[in-house]
Structure 1
Amino acid sequence: MHYSREQLIVLFTYLPVLVAAWMALRRYRGADRPVKLLCWLIFFALLIESISRIFWFFKVSNLFLWPIYITVEFALLTWMYSLVLDQKWLTTVRGWMLAAFTAIVLVRELGQQGQSVWIDNAGRSIESVVVILLALSYFYKVFQELKVQNLLVEPFFWVSAGLLLFFSGNFLIFIFMNFILLYSKNLNDQIWVIHSLMNYMLYITYAIALWVGRGK
C-alpha cells in the first residue's frame, strides 16, 4: 500500500505520543496531582491515537473520536491548571466550564449528523482560547511571583509553552478547517501536515516536562 509523504507525516504523529506515554508511565507513581493529570491526558491521547490508527488502516471514519478527545482534553487541562495556578475561582468554575463546553460540542455534533467529513471546529476553537488564556496565566503567575529559579527545569513551563504554541499556531486551522476541506483536498492535506508537526512539538514538550520534573 502506497502512502504519500503527507499521509506518513500524519501517521507518525503517533511516535511522540508514544514517547511521552513512556515518560508518563515512568513518572506517574511519584508525581504530584498536576503531573498525574498530565499523565492521564497523555495516556488518553495514546488510546485515542491507537484507535484512530486502527480505523484509518481499515479506511473507516474516525471522526467520531474528535469530540470525545477534545472534551476529555479540555476537562483534564482545566483541572490541571486549576491546581497549578491555585486560583479558587478557577476551581469553582471549571465544572461549569466543562458542562458548557460539553453541551456546545454535543449540540454541534448532533447538528452535523450525516455529514461524514465535517469536523466540529467550534469546540476546538473555544478550547484553544481557554487553553491559551490558561497558559498565559501560568506565565503571568511565574513572572509575578519570581519563585522559579530556573524555568528550564520547571515541568509546567514546558507544558505551558507547548500548549501556547500548539493552540495559537493551530487556531486559524481550527476555525477554517471545514472551509479548507471543501475548498481544496491538496491544501487540506498540507494544512493537516502543519497540524501534525505542531502535534509532534506538543508531545515532545510534554515528554521534556516529564523528564525535567523527574527529580521533583
Structure 2
Amino acid sequence: MREDFFFILGNVSTFIVVIPLLISVLRFRLLTTVQLKLVHLLILVLIVESISNILWRKKINNLPVYHLYTIIEFLLIIRIYWSTLSQLVSKKLLVGISVIFVVLAVLNTIFFQSIYVFNSNITTLLSILVILFSLSFFYITLKDVEYTALEKNPMFWINSGFLIYFSSNLILFFINNYLFEKSTEASFLIWGLHAIVNIVLIMFYTIAVWVNPKKQ
C-alpha cells in the first residue's frame, strides 16, 4: 500500500473530529452534562491535531505537543467518567489517580522520555487506565436492575468507543518509538490501522452527541 494512501487516511482520521463538533454546535442547547464534557475533549483533539499537523508540515518535531496533550486528555476523560466511577470508588481515590498520573507523566518526560520522543510509557498507562474505567462502567451498568435504553445513553457510546480505541492501540502505543525510527511498510500498515480505529472512535463520538436522552 502506498504512502500517499496512508497520508490521506491520516488526514481523514485527524479532521473527521469536525463532524461531531458541528453536530454539537447545532444541538448545543439540547446537550447533557456528559455530552458537554465530551465536546471539551473534542475541542482539545481538534486544537492538538491542528497544531501537530502545522508543525509536521514545517518539519518541526510535534511530539512535545503530545506530552502535554496526554495529561489534559486523561484529566478530561476521568472528568467524563467522574459521576459513574464515583458510584464504585471514592472521589478521593479518583483525585489521587489523577494526581499520580500527572506526576508520573511529568517524571517520565524529565527522566525517561524527553519531549522530543513519543511518550509511549504514559500513553500505555493511559490506555490501561481507560480500559479499566470502561470495564467499570459496564460493570456498574449491568448491576443496575432498572431497564435503561443504552442506545439513547451518550455515555454508553463514549465508553464503547474508548474501550475499542484504547484496547486496539495499547500495543501500538507501547512500541511507538520503534515505529518512529523505521518507516517500513509494516509501520505504515500499523499506523493505517490506528487511523481506522480512530475514525471508528470519532463515529462513536458522533453518535454520542447525536442521541437525545432525557436531561439529568
Q: TM-score, normalised by structure 1?
A: 0.88
Q: Which runs of 5+ in 2 are unaligned?
A: none
| Residues 135, 213 of structure 1: alpha-carbon distance in 2 compared, 3 angstrom cutoff | farther
Q: How far apart, in 2, do the equivalents of 1:154 and 1:148 lie?
A: 12
Q: How far apart, in 2, do the equivalents of 1:150 and 1:22 lie?
A: 25
User: Residue 10 of structure 2 corresponds to which residue in structure 1?
Assistant: 10
Tell me how far 1:166 sits from its aligned partner.
0.3
Q: How far apart, in 2, do the equivalents of 1:141 and 1:213 lie?
A: 22
| Residues 193, 90 of structure 1: alpha-carbon distance in 2 compared, 3 angstrom cutoff | farther
- Is 1:145 the counterpart of 2:144 in the alignment? yes
Identical residues among aligned pairs (%): 26
1:88-135 per-position Cα deviation (integer Å, ceiling 9, x unaligned): 73422222222211122222222333x84x311111111111111111
| Residues 26, 148 of structure 1: alpha-carbon distance in 2 compared, 3 angstrom cutoff | farther
1:28-47 per-position Cα deviation (integer Å, ceiling 9, x unaligned): 44433322211100111111
Does the aligned pair in 2 maintain the 1:128–1:171 contact within 8 Å?
yes
Q: Which runs of 5+ in 1 are unaligned?
A: none
- How many residues matched? 213
SS in 2 for 1:60: coil
Q: How far apart, in 2, do the equivalents of 1:59 and 1:11 lie?
A: 16
**Greater than 4 Å deviation, 4+ residue runs:** none
Comparing 164-173 with 188-197, greater Cα deviation is found at 188-197
CA RMSD between the two structures: 2.2
Counterpart of 1:20 in structure 2: which amino acid?
P
SS in 2 for 1:87: coil
Alignment of 1:1-216 (within 5 A): 4-87=4-87, 89-111=89-111, 112-113=113-114, 116=116, 118-182=117-181, 185-213=184-212, 216=215
Does the aligned pair in 2 maintain the 1:79–1:91 contact within 8 Å?
no
| Residues 180, 53 of structure 1: alpha-carbon distance in 2 compared, 3 angstrom cutoff | closer
SS in 2 for 1:89: coil
Q: How far apart, in 2, do the equivalents of 1:133 and 1:199 lie?
A: 19
Counterpart of 1:153 in structure 2: which amino acid?
K
Q: TM-score, normalised by structure 2?
A: 0.88
Q: How far apart, in 2, do the equivalents of 1:185 and 1:40 lie?
A: 36
